[in-house]
Structure 1
């Protein structure tokens, strides 16, 4: 009911119905009472179909939102783990710098070493 093919076919059907019942001794004279009955039933069905379609779209949107939420939670967990690893690495680097400074201090305090010709 939502395609252009349906709309075109529906308009064509309405025109054929009107032509068939206007020029020939048709089964539905001019006010087209039977056609009005069919159109009223179609309008009632369209309302129900639109509501069903909207409900299905809402369910799809809710599922996509839940998937996005789950993905964000997983990404948050991964980022927190990476930040923890990064903090540990920064602490290790700080420890290594402290060790290097302790090892480097006695060499510098002794003063310059004389150059040797080898």
Structure 2
């Protein structure tokens, strides 16, 4: 079981739309052992009721005799609905992954900026403490920006809440 719903940067609960909450509940219920056991139990009860109880014990006409045409219709309808429901749940899982990836990217770029500033401060402190003056070329090499291009910082970068 994943714990993404505990992550501070993934929308949950009241932040979700009705459709997103429904997709989460359907994904969690249809992808469980409980659903499988209930489904198998209903199939066994359907076949048992129609074949054994109605025809052999009570000697009545079964409401859906053997080849179970009505059951086949219901299962085909269920399969059609499940396809759409699973696609909706898949879209929701992609959205969660996107939110987590966006947060990871933000943390990584902020960390890189922080380390660049730290390197600059360390070079200045080492330069001041040693009394040896670095040449302009040596200073440029030490203070050169990283080879990974950083996107410009925007106001949106500051809107992320602090990680707890």
Shorter-chain TM-score bucket reads 0.7 to 0.9
Distance (Å, rounded) in 2 between the aligned partners of 1:8 and 1:32: 20
Q: Unpaired runs of 5+ in structure 2?
A: 1-29, 55-60, 134-164
- Report the secondary structure of 1:78's partner residue: helix
Distance (Å, rounded) in 2 between the aligned partners of 1:7 and 1:29: 24
Q: Does 1:7 align with 2:9?
A: no
Q: Does 1:74 align with 2:110?
A: yes
Q: Which residue is equivalent to 1:65?
A: 101
CA RMSD of aligned residues (A): 1.4
CA drift of 1:36 comes to: 0.5
Distance (Å, rounded) in 2 between the aligned partners of 1:39 and 1:30: 15
Distance (Å, rounded) in 2 between the aligned partners of 1:71 and 1:2: 32
**1:17 paired residue among 17, 33, 46:** 46
Distance (Å, rounded) in 1 between the aligned partners of 2:92 and 2:42: 30
Q: Which residue is equivalent to 1:43?
A: 79
For CA contacts below 8 A with separation 6 or more, give which structure has more relative contact order. 2
TM-score by length of 2: 0.56
**2:130 paired residue among 78, 82, 94:** 94
Is the helix fraction higher in 1 or 2?
Answer: 1
Q: Unpaired runs of 5+ in structure 1?
A: 99-118
Task: Provide runs of 4+ in structure 1 moved above 6 Å.
Answer: none
CA drift of 1:2 comes to: 1.2
TM-score by length of 1: 0.77
CA drift of 1:94 comes to: 2.4
